[in-house]
Every structure is written in structure tokens, then in C-alpha cells.
Amino acid sequence: MNISINVSSIQAHQTMMNSNANNVANANTDGFVPNDTRMSNNKDSVVANTRQADNNGSLKSQTDLAKEIPDQITVQSATSVNVSAIKTQNEMFGSLLDIKA
């Protein structure tokens, strides 16, 4: 078990939520081009890759709330799962130390 993967996932999802919150906050800002965040993982970590979405030339905000709201739900669920995994690992290590003591 590697708790650092769970921690990096929480950090990556926090980056995604920050980007998402900025997009939602600017939903009524004329000419705003939102950021798009994608997750990638390697053997030991999860990384958030944020880039500006493609500009379609609209004079209105290009933020799509139909995309942003489900992304927030995804971030909330992923963070909850990772916190549960960390708590479980903590309990297992605590039990292991109790057995060895």
C-alpha cells in the first residue's frame, strides 16, 4: 500500500477543483475562455494537467456549466474515496503495530 498515491490524487483533484471554480466564477464574464483539466497517472502519482480550452471566438463566456457541475461532483467523489483509502490504511497500520507490540 502506498499512501502517497492517494495524497497525490487528492492534490490533483484540488487543482482540478480550483480550475473549475475559476471557470464557474467567470461564467458571466464576456470573452472568458475556461481552463480544462485532465488527470493522468504514472506508477507513483496522479497529476492534473490544466490548459486553456479551445477558443471558439465567442464574445460571451465559453464556460459550459453542464460540464463544470458534473466535474465538481467527480472531484468530490474522488476525494472522498481517497480519504477513505487513507483512513483504512491508517487503521490497518495501527492494527499491525498493535499486533507487533
Please give the tally of structural domains in the chain.
1
Condensed to tens digits (0 to 9), the pLDDT of residues 7-42 reads: 999 999 999 999 999 999 999 999 999 999 999 988
Percent of the chain with pLDDT over 90: 76
Are residues 65 and 7 in contact, defined by beta-carbon separation less than 8 angstroms? no
Q: Which three cell numbers stand for residue 7?
A: 495524497
Distances (CA, A) of 57 to 1, 27, 33, 52, 67: 47, 15, 9, 13, 19
- Is a pLDDT exceeding 60 seen at residue 100? no
The answer to whether residue 78 scores a pLDDT higher than 70 is yes
Domain of residue 57 covers 3-100
